[in-house]
Amino acid sequence: MVSSSTSPFKAPAARYSRTAIVLHWALGLAILGLFGVGLYMTSLPFSPARLKLYNWHKWAGITLLALSLLRLLWRATHRPPALPASIASAMPAWQHWAHHGTHYAMYALFFLVPLMGWAYSSAAGFPIVVFGVLPLPDFVPVDKALAEWIKPLHELSAFALVGLAGLHIAAALKHQLVDKDGLIGRMLPGRR
């Protein structure tokens, strides 16, 4: 058995709650998966497989929106643990700004990306029927010109979200591998 003092994932005392950890990882994996499917499906020729992927992408996007709302509600009612004082004092001011700015921007994009996708689908005249059984109301009226305007915004916001997620991952790895401060342990699943 590895002692906590030699573990590469030494955890600071103040961990996130199990619910926050589950929401973090579920949302993170959903974002990366949706982005990958989105890139793949847009490269396919028109076919039943492409249509099926578009429907799955839309269902997953609505699920992502629901998870984002749940995560925001959890965050609003459950204060996250503060950065340990030793880590906070060692971080330059720009890292504190980047830490908070990245989190706020990601939260905004958690909502913006799926809402833009829903708006694009509605404007293009392709309603969303979640899991093939639950029709959602159109987010905006059918308008092909509006759809053409929204489509690149959905794509750009998705790239921005994945870029910020990459920055978030890089920062976590920097704390783990360079600073060796165990910060990543606060969000890893495992025993409490």
pLDDT for 4: 44
Q: Is the pLDDT at 7 greater than 50, yes or no?
A: no
Lowest-pLDDT range of 58-62, 83-87, 161-165, 170-174: 83-87
Q: Is the pLDDT at 5 greater than 70, yes or no?
A: no
165 vs 38: CA distance, rounded Å: 16
pLDDT for 2: 40
Residues in Cβ contact with 142 at an 8 Å cutoff, skipping those fewer than 6 apart: 122, 123, 124, 125
pTM metric for this prediction = 0.86
pLDDT for 106: 95
18-78+88-186 CATH: 1.20.950
12-70 pLDDT, tens digit per residue, is: 458 899 999 999 999 999 999 999 999 999 999 999 999 999 999 999 999 999 999 99
Long-range CB contacts for residues 35-40, cutoff 8 Å, separation at least 24: 35/158, 35/161, 35/162, 38/158
- Per DSSP, 185 falls in state G
pLDDT for 13: 55
15 vs 147: CA distance, rounded Å: 43
Query: Side chain identity at 85, as an amino acid letter?
Result: A
**Which tokens hold the place of 7?**
């573990």
48 vs 64: CA distance, rounded Å: 24
- Per DSSP, 8 falls in state T
175 vs 93: CA distance, rounded Å: 16
Percent of the chain surpassing pLDDT 70:
92
Helices (H), 78-182: 85-90, 93-123, 144-173
109-135 pLDDT, tens digit per residue, is: 999 999 999 999 999 999 999 988 999
pLDDT for 84: 84
181 vs 86: CA distance, rounded Å: 9
Helices (H), 124-143: none
